[in-house]
Structure 1
Amino acid sequence: MTEVLLYTLGVVAVVLGLAASIALHEVGHMVPAKFFGTKVTQYFVGFGRTLWSTRKGETEYGVKAIPLGGFVKIVGMLPPHPGDDPGQVRQSNTGMFTQLISDARSAEYENVTPEDEPRLFYRLPWWKKAIVMVGGPAVNLVIAFVLFAAVFMTIGASTVSTTVSAVSDCAIPSTEAGRTCTAADPVAPAKQAGLAVGDEITSFNGTPITSWDQLSRAIRANGDAPATIGFERDGTARTVTVNTSVQARTSLDDPEKVEDVGFLGVSPTPGYEREDLGYVVVTMGDMTGRTVTAIGDLPEKMIEVTKAAFGADRGQDTPMSPVGASRVAGEVTSAEGTTWTDRVHFVALLLASINLFIGIFNLIPLLPLDGGHIAGALWEGLRNAIARLRRKPIPGPVDVAKMLPVAYAVGAVLLVMGVILVYVDIVNPVRLT
């Protein structure tokens, strides 16, 4: 298959995977909403102009032109103003925010009939509201777990062995990585020692070697000193002694730091090792923590991305839009030497990571994110519990409409972030090494 076709397949796989994730996220809201009896009038994937739609019962299902999200229209998300009839929401012009909230209430109840009133979302008990809003993020987290489990328990987790896959001809500083060897470059120690592709390194300076990480750290710590290397070739144990050289390399513990370390000049053999369910749980837990940290670092990283829009270097750990993620998938799936196992492994884990991010990000307790509605429902439950303990009348539903100014502000910020990410992913994308 040609490189262009493989690139296209990678892009299409991610685009379709994201579309399916968005669609299932909205199903996670719609199913419990319908189960609890609320009226759901629309279910759409995408925003903007409608490309296709069909009506089944009271719900219109369809696809819109901009595939960057989706929505479910659940009638009655905003309660009427206290004392107002749902069908006759009062108008107000006492201030910009007050008018904004009033207009939103009016739009919410434009097509509400008296028969709909018992089915309005705001009338649900707080715990049912929470379930409906948690449904979307929960689906993304389930998708992430299923994908992680499918990959790690069938293909396996990526690993590297101490079997040599390549021997460097010369020693090139990391600052000049990518160029070919010249006559001025020193011969790599591994080349001097006669190490070859297929050799399995078993010991270093008398210490048994069981992993590539252990070997790499031992080489780096050796500096410019003799090294006795034990290895197996064609089933025969051999030993060779050679001086490792010193080269500038990126720190294993701090990717931002370059340090002078010992250098041998061998590369490991990549592969996969199947894992059990416990590994899946631990790995997803670890990635959840990393995702939470990444969300906390998002403002700082967006500053870096914005600078990249004007020509600054862009780090590989900066956030990407769906455009960037699709591009990376195409780059990996079309890379020379990549197998179909590698392609499936990468794309599946990429989609799992994206779903994990979507699920956690949507739990941030700010409107218009799902977490904002969840926070309102939980506050309503807490307020009702306190009222019962104090033998006071149960308060009415929490009025999330009062938070609409915040919702519009957060929505505007997210929109700007999205536009910047898409632009930078086109003009200054993340470069894979």
Structure 2
Amino acid sequence: MNPSRILHTETFRYAVLYLTGVSLAVFVVLAIGYAWVTVGYFRGLNELIGSEQQTLGRIHAGGGVEATAAAIGERVQAASFPRLFYLLVDAGGERIAGNLSRWPERVGEGKEWVGLEHVLEEVSGAQAPLDFIGSSTFLADGSRLLVVRHYKDISEFLRLTLTVLLQAMLATIVVGAIGAALLAMRLQRLIGEVNDSIATILAGDLSQRIPVLDDNRDDDFRRLIVNLNHMLDRIAQLMANLQQLSDNIAHDLRTPLTRLRNRIASLGSGADEARDEAVAGMLQESDDLLATFNALLRIAQIEAGSARSGFAPTDVALIVHDVCEFYEPLAAEKRQAVQLDLPPTCPGVFDRDLLFQAFANLLDNAIKYAPVDGHVAVVMRCAPETVEIEFRDDGPGIAESERTRVFERFYRVEASRSGYPGNGLGLSLVRAVGNLHGGAVELG
């Protein structure tokens, strides 16, 4: 499977949209989760500090400043206690207890939630500014209590939470991307198998069927493929019936028409000139009728795909050259110059007889509708995968409004019905041959 083809498929675009949607959903969920964790953390911190203040307030009410200072000292020394910082000062602002050296200037009077920067004296004796967050409150004797937490602890927790959430989001996106890629590849493989089978069927092999998925599964794709195969079976049956009908027509009508022509021909051996002319006219009409009949059968066989037995390695350039050589006398009668621009060779696997007939129809039209002393050009371009052949003339051309209808059977441009012979099947056969070879016919 070609990865570059997957990038341009509708399946890949849907997978990208799916991954984008999943990524946005994960981002929103994780953002909400981060906000919820952050709010919960600060709510818990607020409850913890408030609980400490209430506990120390009750100790102060029962035992006074000394008991409160002792309780603060125990908390500072306890390694298992939540990492909080305390400061108890008297009404004059003198430090009584705690692991903060002085009352911060930014903290006002009364109970409030504050963020502050404070200098702690480290064990080494150095002075280091640190950020804190907490709240202060008044005690009964006018002393003030400050309980805070080091902001570094808070930021580390939030950073750790954010890192975990981002890693979870990245892992989810990576897993989603892998899943989307596998899904896109699987769908592309299934669609590719369907397209390959349909292409083979369109090329004329009506016995080809789309491979059915695991028989033990009953998913949408399997039901779709089963229904498509049932439809192809029905189409194949209809085409077989059509082929049988064509064979019956060929047997029941072509043989009597041939006998009729032979009997008419036997009437033309007398000496009556008028009768001979009448017989000649009837012979021409019989020949035209047989030609039309044979052309219809040929088109039906080509469109049914039964004409692929004639495919073999062929030089298309040689076929075009033979067609032009065959029509050279007809062009000479109208003093037309036929210009050829052909490559030396253009090999491929084609049906030589069908291509000869199709090219002959196109060149016959070009010579027929080009004026006397006009010009006809045949240009051929041969590439490894494509062959393009262009027939040009300086005739009146076909009106754009009629360019699609001229491929219909028996349709003829009105201006040509009285001036030129024909049955309106030439371009129909050309298109049928082109479709059989995987090509197309364009009019300009």
Q: TM-score range by the shorter chain?
A: under 0.3
Instruction: Give the number of the structure whose alpha-carbon radius of gyration is greater.
Output: 2
Q: Which of 1 and 2 has higher RCO (CA within 8 Å, sep 6+)?
A: 1
| TM-score calculated relative to the size of structure 2 | 0.24
Give the strand-richer structure, 1 or 2. Answer: 1
Give the helix-richer structure, 1 or 2. Answer: 2
| TM-score calculated relative to the size of structure 1 | 0.24
